[in-house]
């Protein structure tokens, strides 16, 4: 199974994004298994909103 299909147990994902004087923190957590791809998509979309 490649990274794109990775499932993570007791998932806690955190990412920090910055644009100008704004710092955004994206945090997702979930009991059980979670896909890694939706978190990466969320971070990508949030970074577009900060532009």
Which residues span the domain enclosing 46? 3-50
**pTM, whole model, 2 decimals?**
0.64
Number of domains in the chain: 1
The pLDDT profile of the chain, 51 residues, written as one tens digit per residue, is: 444 455 556 667 888 888 888 888 888 877 777 777 788 888 899 889 888
Say what the pLDDT of residue 10 is.
64
Say what the pLDDT of residue 8 is.
56
Say what the pLDDT of residue 1 is.
41
Cβ contact 32:9 at 8 Å: yes
Say what the pLDDT of residue 2 is.
44
Q: How far apart are CA 32 and CA 15, in angstroms?
A: 20
């Amino acid at each position: 199974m490649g990274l794109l299909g990775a499932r993570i147990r007791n998932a806690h994902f955190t990412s920090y994004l910055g644009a100008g004087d704004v710092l955004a923190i994206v945090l997702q957590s979930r009991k059980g298994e979670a896909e890694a791809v939706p978190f990466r998509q969320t971070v990508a979309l949030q970074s577009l909103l900060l532009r």
